[in-house]
Amino acid sequence: MRMKKEIVSSPAAPAAVGPYSQGVRATGFIFVSGQIPLALSGEIVPGGIEAQTAQALKTLGAVLSAAGLTLEAVVKTTVYLVDLEDFQAMNAVYARHFPSASPARACVEVARLPKGARVEIEAIALDRA
């Protein structure tokens, strides 16, 4: 089986803030880079953890959409929080985006995130292409 790698990017998602791809399609999966709550302008969205979580998931969905997928294709996420005290509020927003057949998930507290974000979410999805 020949390995194939394809870059996935979306104009509906903010540009990467470093030398990485928004997403990569490889051997039956889409790997979506960690998404912080950036508006298309490149600034962190205003508001608390709820607004930041919603934006991170919206951006993650935009990258998946560029690959022809939705959040339903996600099989694994990793959530990075600057403060685990935000877990319940983040979790409530997250649950609305994954109402059934939720993906496997890890959630960890980190010291800092780029641009002062409070949350970052990365995902692995099944490629239906």
To 10 degrees, the CA torsion angle through 69, 117, 50, 105? 50
Q: What is the rounded CA–CA span in Å between residue 118 and residue 30?
A: 24
Contact 92, 50 (CB under 8 A): yes
Q: What number of CA atoms fall less than 13 Å from residue 126's CA on the CB side?
A: 6
Residue that is written with structure tokens 């649950």 in the block = 95
Residue type, 21: S
Q: Which residues are catalytic?
A: 107
Retrieve residue 115's tokens: 């641009």
Bridge-based pairing state of the strands 104-109 and 74-81: parallel
